[in-house]
C-alpha cells in the first residue's frame, strides 16, 4: 500500500498504527472510558509507544511537519478586551461524575476575574464557602447516581443556593444533576438536587447530536438578550423538562427544538458551550456573579 499510495497520490507515507488488541481503549456513550478507570493504562501507553517506534518513520513525519506553513487566525481574545471584573469565587463541580470541561473555558474564566474553586458533589459534604457563582459541567452522573443521591446535604445546599439567587450554569450531565429525578445506569430513578422540576431518563439512541445555534425565545441570559449562541449536543439522556427559553436549530435542514432554562440567575440545559465561540455567555455570567457579590456584601 505504501508504494501504491506514493506512486498514485504523490504523497509520502510515514507509517501506520497497527491494531493492538490488548491495548484497546474502550468507549462509553460518546466518550472514552476515563483514564483512572483503565487498568495498567501507563503500561499500555508505553507498549503502544514502543510499537509506534517500529511502525512510524518519525524522521519523515517531522520533516513534513517542519515544512508546513503557519496557520493564520484572528486573535480570539479581541471579544474579551476591556472586560473588567472584580474577583469573584466560582464553584465548579469536578469529580468522577463531572469531568467534561474545556480547559480553555476555565482559563478564560480565570483571565476574566474568576477564582475557580473546585468541589465534588460526590465526596464533599458541603458547597465551598462564600461563592458568587456555581457551574456544573458535563460528565457521567448516571454512573454515580447512588453516590450523588446519598449526599443529601450537597443536594439540599445546591438547591437552596440556586433558588436563593446564586448565579448558576449547568450543561448536559450538570443539567441532569439539577433535576428532581435522574435514571441511573441500572434503570433506578435517583433523587437529585431538585432545581429542575422534572425527570431525566435514559434513551436507547442519541437524543440529539451535533452543532446547533441557539436563539432566545423568552427568559434571560443572566439579564441580557444575546443575538445567538453557538453550541453542540451529544447525549443518550433526555428529560421531560428540557426548558423552552431558547430554540436550537441545526446548521443544515429544518430540524430544531426548544431547550434551556434561562433566567436572571440560572442557565441550564443539554447544550455544551465553548466560550470563545459565544463570548456573551461568560461575560453575562460573570457580570451577574459580580452583581450578586455586591448585593451580598450590602
Whole-number Å distance between alpha carbons of 31 and 184: 17
Q: Determine which one of 172, 242, 278, 289 is catalytic.
A: 172
Those residues with Cβ within 8 angstroms of residue 245's Cβ, 6 or more apart along the chain or in another chain = 216, 217, 218, 219, 220, 258, 260, 261, 262, 263
Q: Which residues contact 103 (CB under 8 A, 6 or more apart)?
A: none
What distance in Å separates the CA atoms of residue 179 and residue 193, rounded to the nearest whole number? 6
In eight-state DSSP terms, residue 211 is: E
Residue-by-residue DSSP string for 120-161: -TTT-SSPPSS-SEEEE-EE-GGGGHHHHHH-HHHHHHHHHH
- Look up residue 224 and give its three cell numbers: 441580557
Cell numbers that stand for 106 in this block: 476555565
Q: Alpha helix (H) ranges present in 56-197?
A: 58-66, 103-111, 145-150, 152-163, 173-177
Cell of residue 226, nine digits: 444575546
Give the three cell numbers for residue 57. Answer: 518513520
Distance CA 67, CA 78 (A): 30
**Catalytic-residue membership of 172:** yes
Residues 265 and 289: beta-carbon distance below 8 Å:
no
CA dihedral 128, 129, 130, 134 (to 10 degrees): 20
Residue 288, all three cell numbers: 451577574
Which residues are the active-site residues?
172
Amino acid at each position: 500500500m505504501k508504494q501504491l499510495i506514493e506512486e498514485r497520490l504523490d504523497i509520502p507515507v510515514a507509517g501506520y498504527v497497527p491494531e493492538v488488541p490488548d491495548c484497546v481503549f474502550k468507549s462509553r456513550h460518546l466518550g472514552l472510558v476515563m483514564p483512572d478507570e483503565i487498568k495498567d493504562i501507563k503500561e499500555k501507553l508505553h507498549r503502544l509507544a514502543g510499537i509506534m517506534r517500529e511502525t512510524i518513520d518519525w524522521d519523515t513525519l517531522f520533516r513534513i511537519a517542519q515544512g508546513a506553513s503557519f496557520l493564520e487566525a484572528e486573535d480570539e481574545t479581541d471579544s474579551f478586551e476591556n472586560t473588567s471584573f472584580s474577583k469573584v469565587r466560582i464553584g465548579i463541580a469536578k469529580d468522577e461524575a463531572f469531568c467534561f470541561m474545556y480547559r480553555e473555558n476555565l482559563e478564560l474564566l480565570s483571565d476574566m476575574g474568576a477564582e475557580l474553586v473546585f468541589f465534588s458533589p460526590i465526596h464533599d459534604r458541603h458547597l465551598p464557602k462564600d461563592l458568587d457563582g456555581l457551574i456544573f459541567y458535563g460528565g457521567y452522573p448516571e454512573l454515580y447516581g447512588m453516590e450523588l443521591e446519598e449526599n443529601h446535604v450537597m443536594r439540599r445546599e445546591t438547591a437552596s443556593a440556586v433558588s436563593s439567587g446564586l448565579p448558576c450554569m449547568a450543561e448536559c450531565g450538570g443539567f441532569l444533576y439539577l433535576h428532581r429525578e435522574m435514571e441511573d445506569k441500572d434503570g433506578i430513578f435517583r433523587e437529585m438536587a431538585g432545581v429542575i422540576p422534572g425527570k431525566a431518563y435514559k434513551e436507547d439512541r442519541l437524543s440529539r447530536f451535533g452543532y446547533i445555534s441557539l436563539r432566545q425565545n423568552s427568559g434571560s441570559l443572566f439579564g441580557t438578550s444575546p443575538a445567538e449562541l453557538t453550541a453542540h449536543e451529544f447525549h443518550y439522556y433526555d428529560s421531560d423538562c428540557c426548558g423552552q427559553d431558547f430554540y436550537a436549530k441545526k446548521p443544515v435542514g429544518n430540524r430544531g427544538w426548544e431547550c434551556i432554562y434561562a433566567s436572571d440567575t440560572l442557565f441550564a440545559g443539554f447544550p455544551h458551550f465553548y466560550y470563545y465561540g459565544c463570548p456573551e455567555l461568560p461575560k453575562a455570567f460573570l457580570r451577574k456573579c459580580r452583581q450578586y457579590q455586591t448585593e451580598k456584601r450590602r
